[in-house]
Structure 1
């Protein structure tokens, strides 16, 4: 099943190279991807998919296409095009860092280190956190952290390994600690975002930007926590991160509907029209495989998590994928921003990326580009 799904995905991605040209897919509308000129937080996922396809097939066409995207990310960095946010890791881990991991291209390594330095500039020592959005001093966004940032921290951990400079590691670990304390609730659910007084660091309270309510659990946010804390454990070997990933994974799996693919928020009322978020389940499927890799073989929960991966991925392939369809996307019924009215209920490029990463992990033990191999 996994091989068939991967081969189908590879064929679609090969066709999309010519379809997309120099532009980057974001979310879809009426069955076709909306494209942009590399100015959104999502653009690294297309680059990452090309690198995954190159590693899987050895086809030079994918390497050349992936390398072209890295050059575009170089231009984006030089021009500082919409980089005033925390999602630098999503952009550069899956593009230039992937190029370094796969090709050992020194220019890719240097660009990635520059990107890590740029992310460090978002550290606010007064509050002790990485500011998610907006410039320093922004009255609205100055005190905000977001659970998504856990997936940007591997960029800093990696930079610390590459340079030997402890500052990268220390800031990444402090952000992970703050996220664990304030974004993860006592029942193992999560806030999407949390606010602090930007001058004193005093905690103000949890909220949401994309979830159902401030007190609800946005499923994609929970998914970022499952994967992000597992990656933090890989870099630090701090057992509290591994336990937090397990707790969040349990919460996610225990609340899935019968077909094992998440709705967009665990607290949203379920009706015939309630949106799914297949991308959240794809993220968790990849994240669970990272988590399982760190668990002892005699850990009683290991089998439970392994079964969770199999059930979710089987459902994604059989019920949500576009296998044998003439489409641009790989995974149907993703959700972008339901609360904000921006949810086309179709392909999301991050959903496609994590679906492909999870498939390749299952098929041959491959990895994404969150860490060195």
Structure 2
């Protein structure tokens, strides 16, 4: 409780200072309204959560959504968007829509975890749903999901196995991808809400082991860390979706920034805050002028049209807004806040908004460049983190208003 009180006071102080420093503001409410309008367009073509699939992506030259099924790693983001819209508007229509799609996720929590993605699938959907409604069915599903995910933890290595299918296919005995940092939130939540203490301990050990082995000296991360299953020894760092084993894949670095910021929130351990800042600084130091990264920071010949990745920018903007509230040094807090605001401004411009051309919120994300999948596309997780970042920014503005009236 003492730790949380200190964090709250520090965040209010820092946000108050930061907001006084930044006169440049875009209309956050206008952009949230835009997201609401785009989501309504999607609901109009898939009106019920009990029908059809779950929106996943729209190819660059297409207008219509490609859909995915409950249990795919992206299946929780659309219900999560609906929950955020309900939270922001208090309109029961969004609650009904969110419940319809979240209900489709619940059966997934009765299955054995097939990969690390249980956190993505359930925290965005059931997690937001439980936070906003207190529905015990959602809570029970989250606890089942956490227990299922825990089976993938290897105590010899100290991390969770990410892709069981890659053990034989790629000869990666125990593989851990940087995306896995995002799924630790499910374990922390479960440990606080009736689950076993071991879930918390596993999450902390995973974060520590990843911090030790999955980052280079410049704090850029490997997409995949490969370990010996028996001895636990680190074997090598490789890529699966980046340019090369030694390049900095943009979305992977974004997952790391967000993940370690979240781990600090959940633990209060300063080593995680310090590390979140280092991986954030590595990302920010290499951004192009518009602050939207190319799909890989080491992509060659950027002048010839290498695709940008709006999803990485959205994830990072959301993470930096939270990070800015934990950093007590004024200049550093201002810096993270300012960079996040500029990212949101660019994502909210006509260069990145889908507008009338598609049902999605954003254009220009990259899913899997090496395979040519979802290149220069609209992708549901870009939309989810963009909306989350807008809502976080709005809350910081509201805190400023509170401080101004004290």
Contact 2:324 2:332 in 1 (8 A): no
Structure 2 CA distance, aligned partners of 1:14 and 1:198?
47
Specify which of 136, 139, 151 is matched with residue 106 of structure 1.
136
Aligned CA distance change for structure 1 residues 136 and 16 (closer, same or farther; 3 Å): closer
Q: Does 1:203 align with 2:234?
A: yes
Q: Under a length normalisation based on structure 1, what TM-score does the superposition of the two structures give?
A: 0.93
Residues 139-194 of structure 1 deviation map (CA, whole Å, 9 limit, x = unaligned): 73431001101110010011111126210110000000011111122111111111
* Structure-to-structure mapping, 1:270-285, within 5 angstroms: 270-285=302-317
Report the equivalent of 1:371: none
Please tell me whether Structure 1 or Structure 2 has the larger radius of gyration of its CA atoms: 2
* Structure-to-structure mapping, 1:58-69, within 5 angstroms: 58-69=90-101
Report the equivalent of 2:114: 84
Structure 2 CA distance, aligned partners of 1:158 and 1:164?
8
Contact 1:223 1:280 in 2 (8 A): yes
Q: Does 1:15 align with 2:15?
A: no
Displacement of 1:68 in angstroms is 1.3
Report the equivalent of 1:265: 296
Aligned CA distance change for structure 1 residues 320 and 119 (closer, same or farther; 3 Å): farther
What value does the CA root-mean-square deviation take over the aligned residues?
A: 1.8
Contact 2:83 2:128 in 1 (8 A): yes
Long gaps (5+) in structure 1: 367-373
* Structure-to-structure mapping, 1:128-143, within 5 angstroms: 128-134=158-164, 138=168, 140-143=171-174
Q: List structure 1 runs of 4+ shifted beyond 6 angstroms.
A: none
Q: Does 1:325 align with 2:356?
A: yes
Contact 2:122 2:142 in 1 (8 A): yes
Counterpart secondary structure, 1:35: strand
* Structure-to-structure mapping, 1:158-169, within 5 angstroms: 158-163=189-194, 165-169=196-200
Contact 2:110 2:145 in 1 (8 A): no
Structure 2 CA distance, aligned partners of 1:136 and 1:272?
33
Displacement of 1:212 in angstroms is 0.4
Report the equivalent of 1:126: 156
Residues 315-355 of structure 1 deviation map (CA, whole Å, 9 limit, x = unaligned): 11114443642521111100001112113312010000000
Contact 2:102 2:126 in 1 (8 A): yes
Q: Does 1:5 align with 2:31?
A: yes
Report the equivalent of 2:259: 228
> Which region of structure 1 is more displaced relative to structure 2, 164-173 or 275-284?
164-173
Structure 2 CA distance, aligned partners of 1:58 and 1:365?
19
Q: Does 1:256 align with 2:287?
A: yes
Displacement of 1:258 in angstroms is 1.3
Report the equivalent of 2:78: 46
Aligned CA distance change for structure 1 residues 136 and 123 (closer, same or farther; 3 Å): farther
Structure 1 CA distance, aligned partners of 2:58 and 2:297?
24
Contact 1:133 1:141 in 2 (8 A): no
Report the equivalent of 2:318: 286
Contact 2:325 2:333 in 1 (8 A): no
Contact 1:5 1:323 in 2 (8 A): no
> Which region of structure 1 is more displaced relative to structure 2, 105-114 or 161-170?
161-170
Aligned CA distance change for structure 1 residues 135 and 121 (closer, same or farther; 3 Å): farther
Displacement of 1:77 in angstroms is 2.9
Counterpart secondary structure, 2:283: helix
Greater share of helix: 2
Structure 2 CA distance, aligned partners of 1:70 and 1:85?
20
Long gaps (5+) in structure 2: 1-26, 398-406
Counterpart secondary structure, 2:370: coil
Residues 77-116 of structure 1 deviation map (CA, whole Å, 9 limit, x = unaligned): 3355xx4000110000011121110001111111110000
Contact 1:157 1:172 in 2 (8 A): yes
Counterpart secondary structure, 1:267: coil
